[in-house]
């Protein structure tokens, strides 16, 4: 299956924020992040022809990106512990001055979530609807709702704990 380079370039320019965010959330250092970024791009390019406009393009991209990231995390489970997330925080939050502390706490808290919860909170923070989250992650809408309530509670608790 071939990827049309021009289409792919445009697609990448428009949606690279999605890939950056996913690759940042699922890795523990810059090199791994760049590798995951490349892997996701490769996967998108490879499966671009299978996209059939049945879902929104961003929904499809999130699905491909998260599936690739979760698969990579599963493969590198022993190599990359979820807690060693702090290298990303420095360059993700640099330039925000006083807000840096809050962003760091949020990253640290997200890092402690398991890989599926991480995907759920990312999609919710990215203003995806429950329907879209359910479609991307392949779970029911009610499941999304129940899980999100639990995740948000534990996230808020962790952030408050880290800020104190």
Partner 1 sequence: MKDEQLKNIWNMMNDKSGTLGSLDLRTEQFIQSSSGSVQEKIRSLLQNDLILKLISAIAFLLNVFFYLNTLQIIYVCIAGILFWTIMTTIEWKTLQGFNKIADPADPTRDNLSKMLVFLRRKANIYELTIASSQALIFIPGLLIYFFLVYGAVKPMTGESFVVFTILCLIGTIVSFFRTKSQIEFHIKHLTICLSDLNDNSLGFALETIERQRKQDHLIKSLVGLVLILGFLVFIAIYKSIVA
Give the residues lining the site for partner 1 (CB under 8 A).
Answer: 9, 12, 16-17, 20-21, 24, 31, 33-35, 37-38, 41, 91-93, 95-96, 99, 102-103, 106, 125, 127, 152, 155-156, 159-160
User: Minimum Å distance from CB 21 to partner 1?
Assistant: 7
C-alpha–C-alpha distance, residues 15 and 85, integer Å: 24
- Which of 126, 133, 115, 117 has the alpha carbon at shortest distance from 69? 115
What's the min distance (Å) between Cβ of 24 and partner 1?
6
Closest CA to 124 of 112, 116, 133: 133
Which residue number, 106 or 136, has a Cβ lying nearer to partner 1? 106
Query: Which of 52, 74 has the CB closer to partner 1?
Result: 74
Q: How far apart are the first and last CA of the chain?
A: 53
The CB-of-1 to partner 1 minimum distance in angstroms stands at 18
Taking residue 53's Cβ as centre, other Cβ atoms within 10 Å add up to 7
Closest to partner 1 by CB, 67 vs 104, is 104
The CA angle 42-43-45, to the nearest 5 degrees, is: 65
CB of 103 to partner 1, least distance (A): 6
């Amino acid at each position: 299956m071939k990827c049309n380079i021009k289409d792919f370039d445009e697609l990448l320019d428009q949606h690279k924020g999605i890939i950056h965010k996913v690759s940042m959330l699922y890795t523990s250092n810059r090199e791994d992040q760049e590798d995951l970024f490349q892997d996701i791009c490769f996967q998108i390019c490879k499966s671009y022809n299978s996209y059939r406009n049945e879902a929104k393009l961003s929904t499809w991209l999130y699905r491909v990106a998260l599936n690739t990231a979760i698969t990579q995390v599963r493969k590198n489970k022993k190599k990359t512990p979820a807690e060693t997330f702090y290298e990303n925080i420095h360059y993700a939050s640099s330039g925000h001055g006083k807000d840096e502390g809050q962003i760091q706490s949020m990253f640290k808290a997200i890092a402690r979530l398991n890989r599926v919860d991480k995907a759920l909170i990312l999609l919710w923070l990215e203003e995806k609807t429950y329907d879209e989250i359910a479609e991307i992650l392949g779970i029911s809408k009610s499941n999304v709702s129940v899980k999100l309530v639990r995740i948000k509670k534990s996230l808020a608790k962790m952030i408050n704990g880290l800020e104190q």
